[in-house]
């Protein structure tokens, strides 16, 4: 088991499968909140659903609409279980807050480099740790 430590953005605990993006994600036009799917045409995860997974990614890109689209995914029941992002930005932090899922950032190792899609994660944002079990 691998353990990473980070800074809490939104408290809470989530456990589930990791979905890792090596690219930032655009909220406005980059996701379909109705299906929980990344729809950004040139994105490495275009067509992949994040619903029920812990989304691991470098951060948000684009306009302030990012938070609105991720809040919509919460309201529609398609949000990720949790989020882990590399660097805290206002867009990513606000998106995590309105999505209301456990979220960590600024970890002691780059989560995008350490965590793999399919790994099982226990994200304990109350304590600021994520435990990784290889999938």
Among the listed residues 21, 63, 64, 67, the single catalytic one is: 63
- Whether 73 is catalytic: no
Q: What is the 3-state secondary structure (H, E, C) of the chain?
A: CEEEECEEEECCEEEEEEEECCCCEECCCCEECCCCEECCCCCCCCCCECCCCEEEECCEECCCHHHHHHHHHHHCCCCCCEEEECCCCHHHHHHHHHHCCCEEECCCCCHHHHCCCCCEEEEECCCCEEEEECC
What positions carry a catalytic annotation?
Answer: 63
């Amino acid at each position: 088991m691998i353990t990473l430590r980070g800074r809490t953005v939104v408290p809470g605990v989530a456990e589930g499968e990791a979905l890792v993006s090596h690219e930032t994600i655009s909220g406005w036009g980059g996701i379909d909140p109705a299906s929980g799917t990344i729809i950004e045409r040139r994105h490495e995860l275009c067509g992949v659903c994040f619903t029920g997974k812990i989304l691991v990614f470098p951060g948000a890109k684009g306009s302030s609409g990012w938070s609105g689209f991720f809040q919509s995914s919460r309201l529609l029941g398609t949000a990720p279980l949790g989020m882990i992002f590399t660097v805290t930005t206002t867009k990513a932090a606000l998106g995590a807050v309105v999505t209301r899922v456990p979220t960590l950032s600024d970890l002691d190792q780059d989560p995008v480099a350490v965590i793999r899609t399919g790994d099982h994660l226990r994200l304990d944002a109350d304590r600021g740790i994520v435990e990784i079990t290889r999938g």
